[in-house]
Amino acid sequence: MAELIRGIRPEVVQGNLERIRHEIDQAGRDPARVQILAAVKYVACEELEVLAQAGVSLLGENRAQELVAKAEAYPGRFTWDFIGHLQSRKVRSLLPYARYLQTVASDSALAQLARHAEPDTEVLVEVNVAGEAGKSGIVPAELPGFIARCPVRIIGLMTMPPLAARAEDSRPYFAALRELAARNGLRELSMGTSQDYLVGVQEGATIVRLGTKLYSAS
């Protein structure tokens, strides 16, 4: 397991947030329309107070048990999204804490949503745009049927493009996700991480998931 991040400084995070918002503006997008989600999988629970001090309010966690623990440690302080591989047996425990489950991608997850979700629950669907073997997400052609089967409202799509050395290599996958969302009338696009978020922004991301870009001094 990777070593947890500690010693985050609020002034560093604040400076990074300002820089990222400026970059979003320079990319031709309104920074107010692109949500910056702090990915906290490797951030120690006690460091979340520093993120709050720096003005970070939207957090994403990859592990269901950790999301629940961190949310309970800071009740009402943050908005939480689940951004990791979604095991259907974890859906029920996540629903009281997560604004969005961003990685819904199986009929077993849909069955759990049907059993446990409130009528106003909203989710994102994870799409394996590149069709990578062994990677989570539905294939694009499955989306219309998946939407039809979903018992709650699907408001957007999420993807992780193939690992690449250059941010620009992610562009065709982000563009494909944008086009898929438009064809299906979905408004939210969660795409782009610390490595390629500006490409995601240029291609229409409404949520970018940032880790080291937020926490590290430049």
Q: Report pLDDT digits (tens) over 1-43.
A: 578 889 999 999 999 999 999 999 999 999 999 999 999 999 9
- Going by the DSSP 8-state scheme, the letter that residue 170 receives in this structure is G
In angstroms, the CA 37 to CA 60 distance is: 6
**Band of the pLDDT at 134, cuts 50, 70, 90?**
confident
What is the C-alpha end-to-end distance of the chain, expressed in Å? 25
Assign 3-class secondary structure to 51-97: HHHCCCCEEEECCHHHHHHHHHHCCCCCEEEECCCCCHHHHHHHCCC
In angstroms, the CA 129 to CA 131 distance is: 6
Rg (CA), the chain: 17
Q: What is the reported pTM?
A: 0.97
Output the average pLDDT for the chain. 96
Which helix (H) or strand (E) is 154 found in, with range?
strand 153-158
pLDDT score, position 2 = 74
- Taking residues 165-169, report their average pLDDT: 95
Residue 199 placed within a domain: yes
What is the residue range of 136's domain? 10-213
Q: Which residue has the tokens 């604040």?
A: 14
In angstroms, the CA 71 to CA 65 distance is: 10
If one counts the domains in the chain, the total is: 1
Contact 13, 56 (CB under 8 A): yes
Residue 53 placed within a domain: yes
CATH number for position 60: 3.20.20.10
- Taking residues 108-119, report their average pLDDT: 98
Residue 59 placed within a domain: yes
pLDDT score, position 3 = 84
Residue 14 placed within a domain: yes
- Taking residues 166-175, report their average pLDDT: 97
Question: What is the per-residue burial (b if ≥16 Cβ within 10 Å, else e) of 116-152?
Answer: ebeeebebbbbbbbbeeeeebbbebeebeebeeebeb
Residue 79 placed within a domain: yes
pLDDT score, position 1 = 57
Residue 1 placed within a domain: no
Among 105, 100, 106, smallest CA distance to 120 is for 100
| CA 58 from centroid of its chain's CA atoms | 10
In angstroms, the CA 14 to CA 56 distance is: 9
Cβ neighbours of residue 141 closer than 8 Å, sequence gap 6 or more: none
pLDDT score, position 218 = 66
Give the pairing of strands 188-190 and 153-158: parallel
Residue 4 placed within a domain: no
Residue 3 placed within a domain: no
pLDDT tens digits along 69-113: 999 999 999 999 999 999 999 999 999 999 999 999 999 999 999
